[in-house]
Structure 1
Amino acid sequence: MAENCKVYLDNASTTYPKAPGVAQRVCEFIEHVGCNVNRGEYEDAYSTAEVVLDTRERLCTLFGFNEPRNVIFTQNVTVALNMVLKGCFKAGDHLLISAMEHNAVMRPLTQLTENGVTFDRIPCNRDGELMVDEMESMLRPNTRAVVMTHASNVCGTLMPIEWVGAFCREHGLKFIVDCAQTGGTFPINMQAMHLDALCFTGHKGLLAPQGIGGFLITDSFAKELTPLFSGGTGSFSNLETLPLLLPDRFEAGTPNLPGIYGLNTSLNYLEKYGIDRIREQEQSLTQRMMESLTEKKLRLVGVDDATKKSAIVSLDFLGKDNAEVAYRLDSEYGIMTRCGLHCAPNSHKTLGTFPQGTVRFSISHFNTITEIDYVVKCIHKILAE
């Protein structure tokens, strides 16, 4: 590759490019449809409603769920987590979380502690792996749920959500999973894994636009949730009280229809291309990069087996300023990464990279071997200085 080319390796923040056809589908809605949903008695409104329902059904297929009406659209996974956490837990409730949670979980929980909710962090080892043997002893009589990311956004290490789901079922706990880093890449089956709520975002592995996300929730858990927002839904307009019907109960106001159209297209792409194929390509590129970076001047953060992590290579440049390295990778070599604490300070404390953070390279199946080899070459140049 020629130097000063552009290589995008910030896919854990948001994927680029999006799935083929997504931009065109968003544009098509804005230019040729443009109407609202659930609020018009005309053909375009009906066809829009069909796209929205089809998108809910495709998400059910992807995530092993059987209730399209229980797929709730939100702005993103952060809003989804806020709605689930703040809508359910109250003074006296105790939660367990992993030590690797993003601030999308931590900040709502910290707010909830002001109202009498408590939580404990299940410890993880220096590679970010969950210490499952500790969980039993951490239970209290008032423990109500486990909240957990599926994969660390800092180092990619996967959490054993199937095992944790069985643990929650055995102990009568709710299980809430944040799949921001794995949706569209790793298989998730809500029913088999005993998930009560799965919070997702569209703009990462689902390859959809920013501004669309949501959660899938079981009937029993939905009954325990108080809606965080209320307003018009286009249904039960004779009432000034919240509807009980899902998804209306949790979808007040006009939804992001351009985003849903884009998500519909990206889900179609994922179905045809295959998430197993995507994951295998990403793991191959990730393993290639990790095996090419074994210098003593570097610390690879997290597990070194690409099959046990999302497609992230997180590096601590020993003896150098990580922020300066990230700046040089971009300014001199056109390599786009993310440096810092990645909105997950306790993850870095667990991994031993606080406060300096890491330089995170997050890979997509749209990346190539040529690009990965170029990145490795540029890192070696910086290390040689």
Structure 2
Amino acid sequence: MTGRRIYLDNAATSFPKPEVVLQAMVRYSTELGASPGRGSYAESRQSAALLTRCRERLCELFGGASPSHVVFTLNCTDALNLAIHGTVDWWNEHRAGEPVHIVTTAMDHNSVLRPCSALLGRGVEVTRVGADTDGVVDPAAVIDAIRPTTRLVATVHASNVTGTLQDVGAVGRACRERGVPLLVDAAQSLGHVPVDVEAMGIDLLAFPGHKGLLGPLGTGGLYIRPGLEDRIAPVRQGGTGSRSERDTQPTEMPDRFESGSHNTLGIAGLLAGVEWLLERSVEAVRAHEAGLIGTFLKHFPGEGAGYRLHGPDDPNRRVGVFAAHA
């Protein structure tokens, strides 16, 4: 193949990464390389400080109240599984016999739908709210689906198929009024559009590190609103580098949910990606991408040429993910 190739698979993972991301990973590998929280020597302390700084910068990005409530995960799928299974496990352990109901939407990714489907055999009820032809889920329909037994509402922020942005804020405000936790899948939105967990009423924010945040594969996280961690059970137990004299999992955050050695190499790259993004501002990224979306929509051949594009035709109501068929 000759000529220049243009990478168009950023919905799967962003590429190429900023040079600073690669430099940060090389620097960690050659200058630190130590496991955080496993020793008192300088390199281990510096690795631990790197994790703390990444948590702080992530909170700066999405308005999180407590950096210690940023839990590092393998990816967004891992974060969503922790939120969903951890919530159900807590209810089954502490409120045995009480019904558990979860609300999802037709636009959710399989990383939400499949964990919920797996729970059906354990007596969990799941309601899936539909969407219109543009992939828009009516917030009122989500709110109407909430019952006294609803323990979790899960929704995607931006579709990985149609690019449709959902009105998460409207759902979040209603969930807060009803005392129901809201889990948001920000796989296609964080880093592309502004996200403020407090203003939008988001209790649990699941995100990948390798997409809009420009970090490497194998990184991600779950932000848990302070106070909610006590109603989510850890889904794995093991070494944390803290409270090692105990046989039981620590209750302190983030160790409650972080067992085993961290992907510190990947998190070094994630930190660099987040800082690169913050220096430029998500608002500037959004304005640039909205312009590109508008140009694409303007020049797309359309139904007159035998093609149908899915999702809204307003750049402000979508991200730069497109699906079409002939």
TM-score with structure 2 setting the length: 0.94
Structure 1 residue 141: deviation in Å? 2.4
Q: Match for residue 300 of structure 1?
A: 309
Shift of 1:136: 4.1
How many residues align structurally? Answer: 316
Distance across 1 between alignment mates of 2:202 and 2:273 = 24
Aligned equivalent of 1:172: 179
Match of 2:324 in 1: 315
- Equivalent positions of 1:299-378 (< 5 A) are 299-316=308-325, 318=326
Q: Which amino acid aligns with 1:303?
A: P
**Alpha-carbon shift at residue 3 of structure 1 (Å):** 7.2
Larger Rg: 1
User: Counterpart of 1:146 in 2: which secondary structure?
Assistant: strand
1:43 alignment counterpart: 42
Contact 1:145 1:168 in 2 (8 A): no
Q: Is the 8 A contact 2:65 2:225 kept in 1?
A: no
Contact 2:154 2:182 survives alignment (8 Å): yes
SS at match of 2:19: coil
| Equivalent residue in structure 2 for 1:152, among 159, 169, 175 | 159
The TM-score normalised by the length of structure 1 is 0.80
SS at match of 1:249: coil
Does residue 138 in structure 1 map to residue 145 in structure 2?
A: yes
Q: Is the 8 A contact 1:20 1:266 kept in 2?
A: no
Report the RMSD for the aligned CA atoms in angstroms.
Answer: 1.4
State the distance in 1 between where 2:258 and 2:141 align.
Answer: 38
Residue by residue over 1:97-144, the C-alpha shift from the partner in whole angstroms, topping out at 9 and shown as x without a partner, is 121011110111111111111111122100001122323432322112
Structure 1: where are the runs of 5+ without partners? 319-385
Please state how far the C-alpha of 1:294 moved relative to its aligned partner.
Answer: 3.3
Instruction: After superposition, give the CA deviation of every residue in 1:52-88 in whole Å (9 maximum; x if it has no partner).
Output: 1010000111111121111100110100111111011
Deviations 1:282-340 (A, max 9, x none): 11111111111133211010001111111122211x2xxxxxxxxxxxxxxxxxxxxxx
Aligned residue identity for 1:188: V
**In 1, Cα distance between equivalents of 2:145 and 2:282:** 35
- Please give the alpha-carbon distance, in whole angstroms, between the structure 1 residues aligned to 2:177 and 2:271: 36
Secondary structure of the corresponding residue to residue 199 of structure 1: strand
Which residue of structure 2 aligns with residue 225 of structure 1?
A: 232
Which residue is 1:119 aligned to? 126
SS of the residue 1:96 aligns to:
strand
Between 132-141 and 120-129, the greater mean CA deviation after superposition: 132-141
SS at match of 2:148: coil
Deviation at 1:24, TM superposition (A): 1.5
Distance 1:63 1:273 in 2: 15
1:27 partnered with 2:36: no
Partner of 1:343: none
